[in-house]
Amino acid sequence: MIYKERPQNFNPEFDVVSCFVEHDGEILLLHRQDHKPEGDTWGVPAGKTNAGEKIIEAMIRELREETGLRLPSSRLSYFGKVFVKYPDYDFIYHIYHTKLNQRRKVAINHKEHKNFGWISPENALNKRLIQDLDACIKLFYEI
């Protein structure tokens, strides 16, 4: 479950960065490999920060590793963070956004993802999404 405000008894084990990569009203979704946690679901480029890594550095790294997109920090806008409580652990989820002027070639990491697609935020809500991504899409796009 996600919270806009830090809930009581919240003990984050790690930080996760994510990015809504947008072009022409559609966002980039990545289809997770079956063997990955929450396999066969769709998500945005995202991942855990490494020890000592700044949040923006982690976002740049995750975009490069998962999509092949190389974007400077000046192209990424920080939207904010939400607090995520799962039964077994808590974490902080940072949301970034970038708008591409042209659709770029996406080179997914096949160890993590089996496909990708561009889809409107509204239609993304009809996909089998990674846990709580629907709430983040609704929050960011005010759907």
Per-residue pLDDT, averaged over 69-81, amounts to 97
Total domains in the chain come to 1
Range of the domain at 110: 2-141
- The residue written with tokens 């806009």 in the block is 4
Confidence of residue 39 (pLDDT cuts 50, 70, 90): very high
Query: What's the Cα-to-Cα distance from 7 to each of 2, 85, 129, rounded to whole Å?
Result: 9, 9, 24
What pLDDT score was predicted for residue 127?
A: 97
**Dihedral pair phi/psi, residue 75, rounded to 5°:** -90, -5
What pLDDT score was predicted for residue 52?
A: 95
CATH of the domain at 67: 3.90.79.10
pTM of full prediction above 0.85? yes
Per-residue pLDDT, averaged over 62-84, amounts to 97
